[in-house]
Amino acid sequence: MFEGLEHTAIASPEPRKLAQWYVDHLGFRINHESGGGFFIRAANGGLIEIIPARGTRTESTMHDPGLRHLAIGVSDFDRAHAALREKGVHFLGEPYTHMGNRLVFFTDCDGNLVHLIQRERPLP
């Protein structure tokens, strides 16, 4: 009956700008536009819905309650990291290895926390 995560939504003060950022930086494509919002699709089929924000953003840290980051799987970590660096992406530190997995955190143009990950082995 329950099939899994269909999409995750991000509220943005400029949905079109954020959607285009994911297109330009991570190779997503705009899949659908409606009512000022956008669905963007990753190469693996994963969807993000970007909706118009209301109000102002509050400061949050990695371990505050709620959704904390989007993880973007990559097949060639070094190439993906270099491509983002060339596009001026703001990284929050240097790449590191944790339990055999390569990762690095960065922010999108709205300040949302994102990270690249190349897993040594897929999760069970």
In this prediction, residue 3 carries a pLDDT of 85
pLDDT (tens digit per residue) in 66-85? 788 999 999 999 999 999 99
Write the burial class of residue 121 (CB in 10 Å: 0-12 exposed, 13-18 middle, 19+ buried).
exposed
In this prediction, residue 62 carries a pLDDT of 78
Domain-by-domain residue ranges, the chain? 1-54, 68-124
Indicate if the pLDDT at residue 21 is higher than 90.
yes
Indicate if the pLDDT at residue 86 is higher than 80.
yes
Same fold, 1-54 and 68-124: yes
The DSSP annotation for 39-106 comes to EEE-TTS-EEEEEE--S------TTSSS---EEEE-S-HHHHHHHHHHTT-EESS--EEETTEEEEEE
pLDDT (tens digit per residue) in 36-71? 999 999 999 999 999 999 988 777 777 777 788 999
**Global confidence as pTM:** 0.91
Q: What class is the 68-124 domain?
A: alpha beta
Indicate if the pLDDT at residue 4 is higher than 90.
no
In whole angstroms, what is the distance from residue 3 CA to residue 57 CA? 32
Beta-carbon contacts of 115 under 8 Å, excluding residues fewer than 6 positions away, are 69, 70, 71, 72, 103, 104, 105, 106
Cβ atoms of 26 and 72 closer than 8 Å: yes
Indicate if the pLDDT at residue 118 is higher than 80.
yes
Q: Which two tokens stand for residue 28?
A: 């997503």
What is the 8-class DSSP label of residue 14?
S
**Mean model confidence pLDDT for the chain:** 93
According to CATH, the topology of domain 1-54 is 2,3-Dihydroxybiphenyl 1,2-Dioxygenase; domain 1 (3.10.180)
22: confidence class by pLDDT, cuts 50, 70, 90: very high
Beta-carbon contacts of 111 under 8 Å, excluding residues fewer than 6 positions away, are 57
